């Protein structure tokens, strides 16, 4: 589990399970790191979920706002539908396992994204299609260790460093993550992704802790790319429900067309 996973999990409501290989199976600090990160993961995880959120994207060339509604079930099924603006209303993204389909109401067509499109932007945001399908695997590819634990700036903080396992095929050279511990809650604060040269590539900041369906979670997530100063994608959750009844057939291509 890592914070971008949680972000994507919320975004697409992918209720994934942290991979058992997040931390190495060694009797040292990595086992504890794994246990804590699994707890964070459990906060977002449910058998099924539904969310209503807004997404604001600011780039050097445009600023746009969207309203989204999403559902998820199990580890790999999710559906997100655009509810605003009118021009894109009804546009839907369906994720079933490693495959992403997009429904385009203007043309009444559903297309399956090719591997070449996976690195492309999702809905004009700073998240890629690849983020949507790769994140649940990421947890299996990194080894996590606690690099700091204690009081800092008036809060009990924990820093984690995640490094790729030698045989894992991942694009990030390193991920660092900061959590705040409040009672029994582990709340993500920041997550920084580093490229293969270990230079920061993007940062995610989690803000505005709220209670959704009895769980305390950050309601705001802001993604900032390192190479594009002033640009960001901000996701704000209005509502988030867990354990709602959903059939598998809800996550089908035919369901994409339903307005």
Residues numbered 66-95 forming contacts with another protein, rule: CB under 8 A: 85, 87-88, 91
Residue 116 vs 229, nearer CB to another protein: 116
Q: Of 41, 21, 37, 16, which Cα lies nearest the Cα of 143? A: 21
Q: Which of 42, 54, 76, 117 binds another protein (CB under 8 A)?
A: 117
Structural tokens at position 169: 């095929």
Calpha distance 175→179 (Å, rounded): 13
Torsion, Cα 60 61 65 69, to 10 degrees, reads: -100
Q: Is 20 in the site for another protein (CB under 8 A)?
A: no
Q: Is 59 in the site for another protein (CB under 8 A)?
A: yes
Pick the stretch among 31-39, 40-48, 61-69, 239-247 that binds another protein (CB under 8 A): 61-69
Calpha distance 229→70 (Å, rounded): 30
Pick the stretch among 68-76, 104-112, 166-174, 177-185 that binds another protein (CB under 8 A): 104-112
Q: Give residue for tokens 């504890």.
A: 32
Pick the stretch among 9-17, 44-52, 57-65, 190-198 that binds another protein (CB under 8 A): 57-65
Q: Is 121 in the site for another protein (CB under 8 A)?
A: yes
**CB of residue 21 vs another protein: minimum separation in angstroms?**
32
Calpha distance 19→32 (Å, rounded): 15
Q: Is 224 in the site for another protein (CB under 8 A)?
A: no
SS3 at position 85: coil
Number of residues that bind another protein (CB under 8 A): 25
CB distance 76 to 136 below 8 Å: yes
Q: Give residue for tokens 């591997």.
A: 115
Q: Which of 26, 97, 99, 109 binds another protein (CB under 8 A)?
A: 109
| Residue 179 C-alpha from the chain's centroid | 16
Q: Which residues bind another protein (CB under 8 A)?
A: 57, 59-62, 64, 85, 87-88, 91, 102, 104, 106-107, 109, 111-114, 116-117, 120-121, 123-124
């Amino acid at each position: 589990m890592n914070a971008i996973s949680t972000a994507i999990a919320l975004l697409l409501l992918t209720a994934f399970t942290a991979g058992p290989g997040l931390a190495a199976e060694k009797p040292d600090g990595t086992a504890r790191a794994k246990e804590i990160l699994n707890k964070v993961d459990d906060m977002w995880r449910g058998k099924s979920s539904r969310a209503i959120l807004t997404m604001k994207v600011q780039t050097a060339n445009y600023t746009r706002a969207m309203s989204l509604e999403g559902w998820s079930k199990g580890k790999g099924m999710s559906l997100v539908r655009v509810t605003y603006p009118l021009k894109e209303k009804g546009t839907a993204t369906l994720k079933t396992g490693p495959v992403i389909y997009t429904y385009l109401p203007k043309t009444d067509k559903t297309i399956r994204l090719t591997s070449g499109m996976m690195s492309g932007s999702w809905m004009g945001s700073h998240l890629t299609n690849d983020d949507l399908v790769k994140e649940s695997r990421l947890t299996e590819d990194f080894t996590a260790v606690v690099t700091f634990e204690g009081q800092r700036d008036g809060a009990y903080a924990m820093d984690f460093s995640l490094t790729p396992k030698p045989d894992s095929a991942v694009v990030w050279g390193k991920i660092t993550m900061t959590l705040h511990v409040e009672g029994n809650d582990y709340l993500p604060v920041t997550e920084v992704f580093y490229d293969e040269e270990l230079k920061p590539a993007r940062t995610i900041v989690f803000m505005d802790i709220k209670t959704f369906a009895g769980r305390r979670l950050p309601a705001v997530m802001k993604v900032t790319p390192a190479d594009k100063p002033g640009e960001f994608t901000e996701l704000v959750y209005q509502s988030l429900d867990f354990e709602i009844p959903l059939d598998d057939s809800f996550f089908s291509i035919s369901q994409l067309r339903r307005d």
